[in-house]
Structure 1
């Protein structure tokens, strides 16, 4: 099974969890879910920027960025 298949399976599994959580009292789990989603987004941005900062000049050229642009983006704090 490839990566795409794994991603699709994990989305299907997560859908059942979200559906069962929505049957609870309003606000009981919603705040936690929103907090978790915000954390996940921030962590994803951080990982992406760290990876961007590690690319070589040739790799950056392949994706159409200069070294200065990549270093500038990698230096942006994760909360922005």
Structure 2
């Protein structure tokens, strides 16, 4: 039968901070290299691109509904 709890980790080496932050994964380290301005510009441009795509979908949906209603006269009563 397995033990209900795993053993506690070994204590940190003498003089080391117990809660010291470890190095982030490589991909996160690359993202963190950019300046705040660069990150802000990327986020802003991403939001603008996503919003434009969403607005385009809404325009296409509205246009298709307009064509649907124009081709069916009972909707115009």
TM-score category of the 2 structures, normalised to the smaller one: 0.3 to 0.5
Comparing both chains, which one has the higher relative contact order based on Cα–Cα distances under 8 Å and sequence gaps of 6 or more?
1
Q: TM-score, normalised by structure 1?
A: 0.39
Structure with the larger helix share: 1
Larger CA Rg, structure 1 vs 2: 2
